[in-house]
Amino acid sequence: MESFSESYKAAGVDVTAGYKAVELMKKHVARTKIDGVVSGIGGFGGLFAPDFKGMEEPVLVSGTDGVGTKIKLAFLLDKHDTIGIDSVAMCVNDVICCGAKPLFFLDYIAIGKNIPEKVAEIVSGIAEGCVQSGCALIGGETAEHPGLMPVDEYDVAGFCVGIADKPKMIDGSKLKAGDVLVGLRSSGVHSNGFSLVRKIFDINEETINKTYPELDKPLGEALLTPTKIYVKPLLALMEQVEVKAVSHITGGGFYENIPRMLREGLTAEIKKDSIPVLPIFELMQRVGNISEHDMFNTFNMGVGMILAVDKADEEKTLRVLAENGEDAVVLGKITEGGEGVVFC
């Protein structure tokens, strides 16, 4: 007998819509299949068989995150195919900081009303993020929440699991004075600080389409630009250069995230004029009359990832990153004494 409940549908949950959403998303999930995937979607658990060959002491590394209030822009623009990239990026960009290669990802979509085509559109972005990071989408959950959420709204979160060889993990313990700080450019605001972003521009149905001389596209489109995923370039670099520390520049900006990669007694000295500040940040600072400190304490300012390498590896690091599509910049160096971040 076909699964269907007239009473449940009358209460606001249409289980058949869920089945249709699964059918529509299967083609997107198929794009992410990699070696190790054991099961397809639809079971009670996602199965993955990791390959431990060549590792002395395999360690599983996990990360979880959501998209935050950036998701409000997707609602206003009725564009849902990129927000999933952000969901994946916020997780995989975290686990790569300790040198872990992402293996698989699971998503959770809470939605006011399950419109299968919209859910499939969201999952298409999640699948794209998985493809960009080389991990598999092996499962997820779509939960319809009538009465709890407006029918046209949803939230997306997820988590990933990666793997690293413990002797090769990056933990900042080898950092020393004189090491070079290298920045990887961001694609925009990424997925952090959007409560402040929305306040600065008073984001609504009218302001979302406003144009500014600083931007090459309407405001909403510029802000919705998905978070850049750094996994593949960093994995390529780690095969050729000893990367001593990595920091994902997310909420909290430079002041909160860079100290997380430093060991006690060391300072990150950054040349302010070396930072490739994007026009969107200059615009936000001007329109919102935001202090420079608060900008650097909230946003990535144009640098989504910062890593530290030996001074002798500086040129090679920039070359390898360039070969893998990253126009990296030298931001400064590690110094002794003090703590945290110092701009000069």
- pLDDT over 70 (residue 304): yes
Coil, helix or strand for 211? coil
- d(CA 183, CA 247) in angstroms, rounded, equals 10
241-300 tens-digit pLDDT:
999 999 999 999 999 999 999 998 999 999 999 999 999 999 999 999 999 999 999 999
The answer to which of 40-49, 94-103, 236-245, 308-317 has the lowest mean pLDDT is 40-49
| Model pLDDT, residue 5 | 61
Packing angle, helices 116-133 and 83-95, rounded to 10: 30
| Nearest residue to 93 via CA among 174, 85, 60 | 85
> Would you list the DSSP string of 140-179?
EEEEE-BTTB-TT-EEEEEEEEEEEEGGG---STT--TTP
- pLDDT over 90 (residue 233): yes
> What is the strand order of the sheet 243-248 is part of?
243-248, 303-309, 180-185, 329-336, 266-270, 340-343
Confidence band (pLDDT; 50, 70, 90) for 43? confident
Q: Which ranges of the chain would DSSP assign to H, the alpha helix?
A: 6-10, 15-30, 71-77, 83-95, 116-133, 194-201, 219-223, 231-238, 253-257, 279-288, 292-296, 314-323
Confidence band (pLDDT; 50, 70, 90) for 228? very high
Length of the chain: 344
Both tokens assigned to 98: 């300790």
- pLDDT over 80 (residue 139): yes
- d(CA 279, CA 288) in angstroms, rounded, equals 14
48-92 tens-digit pLDDT:
999 999 999 999 999 999 999 999 999 999 999 999 999 999 999
- The CA distances from residue 248 to 2, 198, 230, 324, in Å, are 47, 23, 10, 18
3-12 tens-digit pLDDT:
656 655 665 6
| Model pLDDT, residue 45 | 86
List b or e across 237-260, with b for residues whose CB sees 16 or more CB atoms inside 10 angstroms.
bbeebebbbbbbbbbbbbebbbbe
| Model pLDDT, residue 18 | 75
Confidence band (pLDDT; 50, 70, 90) for 17? confident
* 204-232: average pLDDT: 96
| Nearest residue to 95 via CA among 65, 62, 134 | 62
| Model pLDDT, residue 44 | 83
